[in-house]
Structure 1
Amino acid sequence: MEGGSLRKLYIGLGAAGSSIMGPLYVTEIVDDDIRGSLVSYTGLFASSSILFAYVVGYYASYTTFTAICLAMPVAFMASFFWMPETPAYLISQNNPDGARKALMWLRTGYVVAVDQEMTKLEEAYEKGKDNRLTMSSFIQNLRSRGTLKALLISIGLVVNNQFSGITAVLSYTVNMFEDASSDISANVSTMIIGALQMFGVYLSTILIDRAGRKILLIVSNLASAVCLAALWGFFYLKANGHDVTHLGWLPVTSLGLYAVTIALGVNSIPFIVINEIFNPQMRGFGVALFMCLLNVMAFLVTRFFTDLNTLLGLDGCYWFFAVCLVTMAAFCYFIVPETKNRSLDSILKELAGEEVTLQKADESLEGPVSRAIDSTTTAHSNNPKTKQEPAKSQQQPNRPIDVYKSGKNLHTRNDATHRKHKDMVMAIALTPGEKISDIIRRGTGPIPSDTATTYSNKHTTGAHS
């Protein structure tokens, strides 16, 4: 018994460590515009591993299954040993050369992107260093507005995850297939639900950087609540003596849809958002606290679900969880911030109550951009081909000027095909005599990157379309 307990302890520690460090590592090495998709792949692999265990465990012996599971972490350690440390960690250890080397490997030698990210990391580190110097203790940092709001969001997401009813639904998977007069065995029905959950997480990886975290959380909560309400109706009628044989398809259909919708957001996105809402000084503490609360809540829900079932009945449990999901949909709408395609710095500023505008970007860009536009316009007007084609120029009075930052130099291009350049700050179309401030007042349209990196590093400000 003692040996079995130790084995469970070691497995639990390993699972908890990978659950915390895996998403955190990915968050710190990827670009902002694909951060959500790549971090969500950790959840996709987790759900696929559960399905893998269902399938292999059904056909293989215990010894074979254990050997296969042991081979996975061994292969991971052998391959991951060669991966670089995160640039954010290296900067925090006062190792900028190591951080640049890691970024060069991660960005495949793209110097412009590396220069920009190094600037952001160094500025974030200096800002955090100043905060540590002004904070007299961990408690003061913990009491900051941004950290308190992040903790509130974390607790809410934990409650949302565990009060989604997933324990109640999965505990009665076999019963629901039996109520549908299905000949499918218990093991096969479990595999079906596992496959549907993996499909839901896969949909999340596709949609998370398109639709956004917030909208997926809301849709997941509301759609799952509808599925649970349907299950409540079925079991309520059955408990009260009604003939439900003609509705045997309802619990199976509701269960299948629930497995997809709950995995779409409620059971996957919290693990992404939690790595985006804490400042670097509190991120390790915040993520660890989130995982501890999650496991404690899972234990409590599992421990007392039987008592809740005795008190409310199975139909009452489904109704209770449906109400919880609707309530948490409102929580996500009003409290949880949208972090899609946003830099971590801009998210932290919003949580801390700091204003994020384009005003400083306008001030610092107007001079350099105006000079660049003037030089480009002059060169264009002196071009003999331009003078020979006045009609074409009159047809296109507003030429798009693409402005982007490369190192410390500002460049412009008149070619509209560069509008979607990776390092472009923004695409603008100027009429004669128009200034950048006029562009901002009338609107520039969508900004390709979530952060409008200004010409002056002293006035870097996040902006979101």
Structure 2
Amino acid sequence: MTTSTAYFWTAPILPKFHNNETSIVISNSEISWVVAMISPGMVTGSLAASGVSDKFGRRVTLLASALPFIVGTVFVLHATKPWLLYIGRFSWGLGSGMITTVTSVYLSEIADKEIRGTLTAGTRFMFSFGALLMLAIGSFVSYQVLSYFLIVMPICYFLACWRIPETPYYLLKEGKVDIARKELLRLSGSKNEKMIEEKLSQMRSDVRKEMQRSSSVKELLTGKQYRKAVIVTAGLRFTQLFAGSIPIQQYMGRIIQQSNCGLRVSTALIIFGAVRFAVGLISPMIVDKVGRRPLLIYSYLGSCVMLATVGVYFFLQQVIGIDDESSNPFRFVVFVGIIISIVISSVGFDTLIFIIPSEIFPLNVRSVAMTVLNIFSAFMTFIVVKGYQPMEDWTGLYGVFWLYAVMACTGAIFTYVIVPETKGKSLREIQVELQGDIYDTPDDQNEQDEVEINENTELKDITR
């Protein structure tokens, strides 16, 4: 919720800038920088989260991520010049990068395979709920009041996360077996000691095997055993970002104004937020029932059709000249098309790009992989979001939406050819499928590398 309120801040605020409802004098070019500055912050946050989460734990990193949100909101609240907004948005990106990097790792390490997808999708539901709050409140209150609301969110987030447990995988990695056993018992909700010991034994075996391997960025990018995972996750992030869901949502208010659909911007944003919230309710129930591959393919194809349709409308409006709000029978095409596209993408690829990476990278490179992936994602997001306004000026809105449609179609093809199914598989089973003999090497071939994990063993010291 904290991330989404900061993320969707631009949707209700941009129309206020264009209508001169704030004391800040800002140009279209400066607005594009305000929208885009969250991405460099995410790069910094992802880098910080990788080191902090491996040294101090997943829980501490999640708690620490609240601070950048508070600092960023202070800058936004007192901004009188665009550069103060840049700093505020950068700080929000810093916190978002930390949360995004660690949350996927955290959930993959605490959840059983039967509910891993549902639990991760549940975070997207909370993201949608935060978006609804921002769009509903932001459409009707002043810039200042909205900023005060944003200060409350990270404080509530910090208090909510205070009592969450550390992950057993991380504790085993640090050699804290007794604490790992206690946290595993707490997470499982079971008092069956035999079952707990079996789980713990399997975790210790997996941790030992994975931590005997290198965990550097170089090893991640060059290691043959990680090659497919890197290609899959990078390809999905690239096609998801260039399919346009992020810039469309951040420029939603402005797009509605330009479409002349007859709806007030505030009404359109509330409807959009409510629909997204409703989709967030059903998405967790679908992810672990349908499977990753079918959801990805059909959501990409569905978005492609809707985005292409919206592009046709803007072509008719901006090139042919169908622009009379009262007589245009197609004036609702843009709003309905975008709503359907967001519904489809929210159930499919917008949710799954957060689930699949945490499933297909092994423990020894998971934090590094999520950091690299989030840096790549932030860099691509910056290009897509910052490039939205120049591209609209160059090609018109129809060119923008047609490009997004082409990339959505590309995403469907990429998924069909490359992406494996991970539904219902344990993290170990996924690694065996991805790496084959490279992963599932008999233990007696690695006796010289094996160590016993106990309370005095720190596995981080044996990585190469």
TM-score normalised per structure 2 = 0.70
Deviation at 1:131, TM superposition (A): 2.9
Distance 1:259 1:141 in 2: 33
Task: Note closer, same or farther for the CA distance 1:78–1:304 as it changes in structure 2 (3 Å cut).
Answer: closer
Task: Note closer, same or farther for the CA distance 1:65–1:138 as it changes in structure 2 (3 Å cut).
Answer: closer
In structure 1, the residue matched to 2:436 is: 353
In structure 1, the residue matched to 2:42 is: none
In structure 1, the residue matched to 2:303 is: 224
Identity of aligned residues (%): 26
Distance 2:91 2:247 in 1: 28
In structure 1, the residue matched to 2:395 is: 312
Distance 2:156 2:258 in 1: 41
Where do residues 56-205 of structure 1 align in structure 2 (5 Å cutoff)? 56-111=137-192, 112-132=194-214, 139-140=218-219, 142-167=221-246, 169-170=248-249, 171=251, 175-176=255-256, 179=259, 181-182=261-262, 184-205=263-284
| Contact 1:200 1:264 survives alignment (8 Å) | yes
Higher Rg of the two aligned structures: 1
Matched, 1:284 2:370: no
| Contact 2:256 2:268 survives alignment (8 Å) | no
Q: Which has the higher helix share?
A: 2
Matched, 1:270 2:353: yes
Residue by residue over 1:185-213, the C-alpha shift from the partner in whole angstroms, topping out at 9 and shown as x without a partner, is: 11221222222223333332110000012
Which residue, 315, 338, 347 being the options, matches 2:421?
338
Deviation at 1:330, TM superposition (A): 0.9
In structure 1, the residue matched to 2:107 is: 26
Q: Which has the higher contact order (CA 8 A, sep 6+)?
A: 2
TM-score normalised per structure 1 = 0.70
Distance 1:92 1:58 in 2: 47
| Structure 1 residue matching 2:436: 3-state secondary structure | coil
RMSD (Å), alpha carbons? 2.7
Deviation at 1:217, TM superposition (A): 1.1
Q: Which has the higher strand share?
A: 1
- The code of the aligned residue for 2:314 comes to F
In structure 1, the residue matched to 2:135 is: 54
- The code of the aligned residue for 1:102 comes to E
Deviation at 1:56, TM superposition (A): 2.2
Distance 1:6 1:240 in 2: 39
Deviation at 1:356, TM superposition (A): 11
Task: Note closer, same or farther for the CA distance 1:181–1:254 as it changes in structure 2 (3 Å cut).
Answer: closer
Distance 1:4 1:251 in 2: 30
| Contact 1:160 1:266 survives alignment (8 Å) | no
Matched, 1:213 2:283: no
Task: Note closer, same or farther for the CA distance 1:229–1:5 as it changes in structure 2 (3 Å cut).
Answer: closer
Distance 1:156 1:209 in 2: 22
In structure 1, the residue matched to 2:451 is: none
| Contact 1:177 1:189 survives alignment (8 Å) | no
Q: How many residues align?
A: 354
- The code of the aligned residue for 1:23 comes to S
Question: What runs of 5+ residues in structure 1 fail to find an aligned partner?
Answer: 361-465
